[in-house]
Amino acid sequence: MDYLLKLNTISLAPRLGMPEVPLVWGEDMTAGLLKKSWLVVCGDMLLKVDLSIHDLKFCFQAYRLDLSVKPAKWAKLEKLGNWALFVSLDRRSSTFSSLNPERWGGKSNCIYVPSKSKDSDEPWIEVELGQFMSRRSHPISYILGRKSKQLESFWVLPSLVYGVNK
């Protein structure tokens, strides 16, 4: 997805190409002021996760790309099922998903963002999908502020560092 929110596919044969995927945007996708957006692969789904501001509150919403209809459309998800999603403000950090996060002490239907506070007991901030949070009281509100020149925390997967076969 590019900065104009256009989605493209890459075709390698018979010729290299990057055709745009015709998309219909749902009416519910325009509610509030969009602050950030991420693409996350979740099982066999491609999700678009939006952080938007409504009045003095913010909320994460998720949409599943539905390619079974023409043109394709983003279908709103009310729940993530047994999935948890990981996003970061630092674009160098990959987004990813985790099935059955209760195995490692996480919670399903939640979005995890690296914590900015060095004093925090937790390395991440956990927000339930669709839950409205106060801009003033929630620790994730730093997302809504000005862009910092300081390097942000980001996710590292052990398999990326140590290799898959080790």
Contact 62, 85 (CB under 8 A): yes
Going 110 to 152 to 7 to 29, the CA torsion angle's sign is positive
Confidence (pTM) = 0.77
Contact 114, 142 (CB under 8 A): no
Cis peptide before 71 (omega within 30 of 0): yes
Amino acid in position 131: Q
Contact 72, 65 (CB under 8 A): yes
pLDDT value for 71: 92
Contact 114, 47 (CB under 8 A): no
pLDDT value for 160: 45
pLDDT value for 6: 82
pLDDT value for 2: 73
CA distance 125 to 112: 6
Q: Which of 149, 145, 141, 144 is nearest to 115 (CA)?
A: 141
Q: Residue 158: in which H helix or E strand, if any?
A: helix 158-162
pLDDT value for 83: 96
pLDDT value for 114: 81
Instruction: Name residue, tokens 């099922």.
Output: 81
Tokens encoding 19: 């055709």
pLDDT along the chain (166 residues), means of 10: 79 89 76 77 93 82 93 93 89 85 93 75 84 69 55 56 47
pLDDT value for 166: 47
